[in-house]
Structure 1
Amino acid sequence: MPGAESDVMGLPTGAAPARRGVPSGLKLTALATGFVMAALDVTVVNVAGAAIQEHLDASLSELTWIVDGYVLVFGSLLLLAGGLANRVGAKTVYLWGMAVFFVASLGCALAPNAGVLIAARLVQGAGAALFMPSSLSLLVSAFPEKRQRTRMLGLWSAIVSTSAGLGPTAGGLLVSAFGWRSIFLLNLPIGVVGMLMTRRYIDPSGVRTGKPAVPGHALWIVALAALSFALIEGPRLGWGVGPVLTAYAVVAVAAGLLVVRERRADDPVMPWELFRRPSFAGANLVGFFFNFALYGSMFMLGLYLQHARGASPLQAGLELLPMTIWFPLANIVYSRISGRFSNGALLTVFLLIAGVASLTMVGVSSATPFWVLASAVGVANIGAGVISPGMTAVLVDAAGAEHANVAGSVLNANRQLGTLVGIAMMSIVLAGVPDWSRGPAVSFLLIGIAYLAGAAAAWLLIARSERVGAAVSGKVTARV
């Protein structure tokens, strides 16, 4: 009910008690379907990119907008969606998002040209922004016990990662058999199943008071939109032309006004007090660098395999399978080892592994044996399969159930910002270094650096915070 207070467990007192008799697997599946659609749409489009370019006569910048336009709206509305979930309930907002995504997917499938496809992808991003943070919040509410929640987070990530890992292969099969439009039609049955299961098996969450920080969110959206325009259109228009310079000026002004507003506002866009917790700040930094590297590499590899190595969409999807199949396998490994090792240590080690593996490919060319490329990217993605659930677990523990909605929104906003910048940077490199023997090499350098930057954030903020916490806990235990 409106204005409900939080109880001692951090859950709103207006929340319904957990529904008894519903198997955990059904709850988990219902809450993973939205994330599955969002993950599929990023990875499937990467394989279909060449076909979309050919059939819609789309330029590289238009293709980048088709991918990044979705990420732009997704990332810019996540924080607003988290606040909305607090006011009207996470289950309600989750279902709204699924419905919007369903309709937008149909629009993408029917798009007659690149402009309409870009517009439909923007609406898809709005739908994803609604259901993504609500999914995490509902998961936390459905599994309040920490050990079970950690295991469910691992399995939840495994379901999503399986979709992301199989996405390129599924996309290649669909594009080859039915054309590129079929990749968006795939969302329709998934969306129907998800909405029906959520309505039946997921309890509504409580609501809290507070109003959305509309002016702050507007500034955030303007800054991200201007940044996207500058990064995506800069290679095509030229970095020194008026529109691009104006976009950078808009970024600076909007960001400056947002900082001023956030310092004075009673209703800030970001929960800045949470960033004082090193683990929370570290999880968000890891999320940015991780998505920069992972989705930047997926975008680049989909084009590289087809343009540089002459693969068809089906061949590219099959060739990506040994690189991406490690996502779900590593997620399952995480669920088994997370109780024996700290998340800070796991994140540091596996980000280092991913970074070093990526840097081994800075000499890649069209003549590089496929097994060498697949091995290096596969090793990096083993790390990625542990990193995703690990940083989510760190965030949930740092924020607590009381802040689950907004914390999930902040993490996903930072991750989508990383995706946005990562894909845009890959596009800039590929446009600036059109030689397919050199462009991917530069891309792998940036990808490796991003993974290593994430490892530094995990070690300095998360692992150090865990060591301090363990030391304090040990002293308290000794006194007792």
Structure 2
Amino acid sequence: MTGDAVSDQTREDTGGRTLGPGGGPGVRLAALAAGFVMATVDATVVNIAGARIRTLLPLSVSQLTWVIDGYVLTFASLLLLAGSLADRFGARRIYLQGMVVFVVASAACGLAPDGPVLITARLVQGAGAALFMPASLTLLTTSFADPAVRTRMVGLWTAIVSTFTALGPVIGGVLVSALGWRSIFLLNLPIGLAGALLTRRYIAAIPARRVRPPVLGNALGVLVLVALSFTLIEGPALGWSSPPVLFSGAAAVVLAVTLVTQQRRSRAPVVPLGLFLDARFTAANLVGFLINFGVMGGIYMLGLFLQNARGVPPFVAGLQMLPMMAGPLLGNLLFARYSHRWGVRRLLIAALALAGVASAALLGVGDSTPYWLLATAVGFANLGVGVGAPAVTFALMEAAGTDRANIAGSMLNANRQFGGLVGVAVTGIVLAHPDDWYRVARTSFLITAAAYGTAALLARRTLAPSRR
């Protein structure tokens, strides 16, 4: 066994036992896709269950926002550290430990007697997802020695993740309607346990590397996100001039300045700040942030809007969101087909402009707006996002260069999660007083259109034309 690839015929576990090729590539793919599928679905499934959870538990709007954002908070803030931990202690070990944490936290979510317990369990659940997400990609690329098989498995893995992202609201609607809201969390138990057992049996360990995780930088980053999240989520509930909100806002600023200062002096920074001297790199990260800001904020609003404004049950709401959520998958396919012909930059600008215009088309949404118009506009916006997401990834990698590609990719993924975190929090502000759901929807679509429009302008002004 080497550090670069693991033989498809013999593999050894950490105890030195040789593991046979049983199960084949499909079983190994299933083992490593299980965690990613759970983490992906759990990022969106709660949006459909939110209305039912808020009524039955019960929760305030700020508590419901914490249920969604708490997961994203720990996931986003620990993602970079988790990658370092996988290098330091071994990707398979961290993957399995993350799965255990995620499954235990999912059980706690499903059995939560009140809001604070559910929020706490969601925070832990996000930490578990952060542990196994980077490790799953590493294990996927090293578990198949044959380059052709590896390429096919990565393609299948991406298709599985994209499919379940689109199906998340439908899965949530079916489970909530048939088995209650707790089932969306308890379903993770058999999936997680099966994935962990398959990984233990069929996925080989990768030799650890003696690297020193940047703990201090990551800890400061976590504190910045916690303070910012508290300010945005609790501001509408406690009042923007209340002492706790003012203190958390000031703390977020002070901690952010401290983080930048510490990173400039650190010999092993979380992210080399020199990367941000390149305007293209900075712009690509801002575009990635704005894309997820619009997507996650929009999903949060739509799940509640369909059930509260249109009066449909969770199952119907999930079905109605399915064509809207199919846009990203179709957009990924369009990017792969046309990026060489039209150029990445041109495609990115057109996609973001489409997303902005489609969102702006719903600024007049009301009770007479037919479902097909709502679904078409949101679907086209998400189609633009589906084209824009891989385009901005390509633009960022081109700006970072091959020697800094790994850290640049990790930074973009963490930054996207941060965008989703802020998007949900800002939507929570809009939802703070939902006396008129159509006004809430119009405000949300205005914010989303502004985010996509700003991203399109950034791409046009800052990102250089692609050489491809």
TM range (shorter): 0.7 to 0.9
SS of match in other structure, 2:432: helix
Considering only aligned residues, what root-mean-square deviation do their CA atoms show, in Å? 2.9
Give the SS at the match of 1:239.
coil
Q: CA distance change for structure 1 residues 273 and 88 in 2, over 3 Å: closer, same or farther?
A: farther
2:185 is matched with which residue? Answer: 184
Q: CA–CA distance in 2 between the matches of 1:412 and 1:448?
A: 22
**2:221 is equivalent to residue 214 of structure 1:** no
In structure 2, the CA distance between the partners of 1:329 and 1:33, relative to structure 1 (3 Å rule), is: farther
Whether the 8 Å CA contact 1:351–1:384 is kept in 2: the answer is: yes
Distance 2:352 2:316 in 1: 29
2: CA distance between counterparts of 1:113 and 1:421? 25
Matches within 5 A, 1:431-470: 431-432=432-433, 434-462=435-463, 464=464, 466-467=466-467
Give deviations 1:94-135, integer Å, cap 9, x for gaps. Answer: 222122111111111111111111111010010111112223
CA distance in 2, matches of 1:145, 1:444: 47
TM-score (norm 2): 0.88
User: 2:77 maps to what in 1?
Assistant: 76
Structure 1 residues not aligned, in runs of 5+: 1-12, 471-480
Shift of 1:343: 3.5
What is the match of residue 51 of structure 2?
A: 50
Distance 1:386 1:230, change over 3 A: same
Is residue 102–residue 188 contact of structure 1 (8 Å, CA) maintained in 2? yes
Q: Please say if residues 8 and 143 of structure 2, whose CA atoms lie closer than 8 Å, have aligned partners that are also in contact.
A: no
1:17 lines up with 2:18 in the alignment: no
Query: 1:79, 1:448 → 2: CA distance?
Result: 30
Tell me the TM-score normalized by structure 1.
0.86
Q: Per-residue deviation at 1:90? A: 2.5
Q: Which moved more, 1:335-344 or 1:375-384?
A: 335-344
- For residues 25-424 of structure 1, what are the structure 2 equivalents within 5 Å? 28-141=29-142, 155-276=156-277, 280-338=281-339, 340-394=341-395, 406-424=407-425
The Cα shift of 1:61 comes to 0.6
Task: Give 1:169 deviation, angstroms.
Answer: 1.1
The answer (yes or no) to whether the contact 1:351–1:387 under 8 Å persists in 2 is yes
**Which has the larger displacement, 359-368 or 395-404?**
395-404
Task: Label 1:403 to 1:87 Cα distance change in 2 as closer, same or farther (>3 A).
Answer: farther
Q: Decide whether the 8 Å contact of 1:86 with 1:405 is kept in 2.
A: no
Percent sequence identity over matched residues? 54
**3-state secondary structure, aligned to 1:311:** coil
- What letter corresponds to residue 78 of structure 2 in structure 1? L
What secondary structure, in the 3-state scheme, does the structure 2 residue paired with 1:159 have? Answer: helix
Contact in 2 for aligned 1:133/1:408 (Cα 8 Å): no
Change (3 A) 1:91 1:217: same
1:204: Cα distance to partner?
3.8
1:474 paired residue number: none
Rounded to whole Å, the distance in 1 between the matches of 2:79 and 2:435 is: 34
Q: 1:386 to 1:36 in 2, by over 3 A?
A: farther
Question: 1:155 touches 1:335 (CA, 8 Å); kept in 2?
Answer: no
Contact 2:364 2:442 in 1 (8 A): yes
Secondary structure of 2:181's counterpart equals coil
Distance 2:406 2:100 in 1: 20
- Counterpart of 2:7, as a letter, is R
* Structure 1 pair 151–17 and aligned structure 2 pair: CA distance change class (3 A): closer
Partners of 1:143 and 1:66 lie apart in 2 by 37
Deviates more, 1:417-426 or 1:151-160: 151-160
C-alpha distance in structure 1 between counterparts of 2:206 and 2:341, whole Å = 32
Partners of 1:80 and 1:217 within 8 A in 2:
yes
Q: Is the 8 A contact 2:264 2:273 kept in 1?
A: no
Give the aligned residue type for 2:412: L
- The question of whether the paired residues in 1 share the 8 Å contact of 2:72 and 2:417 is answered with yes
- 1:219-262 deviation digits (Å, cap 9, x = unpaired): 11111101111100000111111110001110011011111111
Shift of 1:26: 5.2
Flag the 1:97–1:273 CA change in 2: closer, same or farther, 3 A.
Answer: farther
How far, CA to CA, are the matches of 2:136 and 2:115 in structure 1?
A: 31
The alpha-carbon deviation at position 25 of structure 1 amounts to 5.4
Q: Give the whole-Å Cα distance in 2 for the aligned partners of 1:163 and 1:427.
A: 25
AA paired with 1:165?
A
Counterparts in 2 of 1:333 and 1:196: CA distance versus 1, 3 Å: farther
**Amino acid aligned to 2:57:** L
Deviates more, 1:50-59 or 1:206-215: 206-215
Task: Give the match's secondary structure for 2:431.
Answer: helix
Q: CA deviation at 1:172?
A: 0.8
Higher relative contact order (CA 8 A, sep 6+): 1
- Give the secondary structure class of the aligned counterpart of 2:466: helix
Q: Are the structure 2 counterparts of residues 130 and 407 from structure 1 closer, same or farther at C-alpha, using a change threshold of 3 Å? A: farther
* Range with greater deviation from structure 2 (195-204 or 248-257): 195-204
Segments of 5+ residues of structure 2 without an aligned counterpart are: 10-20
